[in-house]
Amino acid sequence: MSVRPEVLEIIRQWVRKAEHDLEAAKRITAVDEGCPYDTACFHCQQAVEKYLKALLTLLGIPAPRTHDLEALSALLPPERRLSLSPAALAAMNPYAVEVRYADDWREPGRNDAELLLETVQAVREEIRCYLPGEALE
């Protein structure tokens, strides 16, 4: 599949940003004491969002300005749907916005962050299989 250079650059930018979020989540979670797990969880959600937007860009589907992972994945054609369930993606949505505000949102813990890191790794691996190699450099 030939990808126009300007589209390839947008995909490359989404991937770079997704990788930055993933790296931030890994580094935060690596801290033993005083780890801001809410921030790690936020970056995990963001990494998945950006990988979905990279794949949508490749497929020529405009990526809406939303943090709703379930809505983004619903835009994928059936042959590109993720193996992760829509419910699992929807469960990550609160980490995009709600976790950043001081209200009745519960404070995520290490288990939450580790589970989300596993989810990001699975989504990352799956989506990177579809993306052109030159977008992953």
pLDDT in tens, 45-90: 999 999 999 999 999 999 999 999 999 999 999 999 999 998 999 9
Task: Give, for 26, the enclosing helix (H) or strand (E).
Answer: helix 5-30
For the CA atoms of 71, 73, 75, 81, what is the dihedral angle to 10 degrees? -150
Tokens of 115: 């589970």
Break the chain into its structural domains and give their ranges. 5-132
Tell me what pLDDT residue 107 has.
Answer: 84
Q: Tell me the average pLDDT across 91-113.
A: 82
CATH 1.10.510.10 fits 5-132, yes or no: no
| pTM score, whole prediction | 0.93
Q: Please state, in angstroms and rounded to a whole number, the distance separating the CA atoms of residues 92 and 101.
A: 16
Tokens of 23: 């790296």
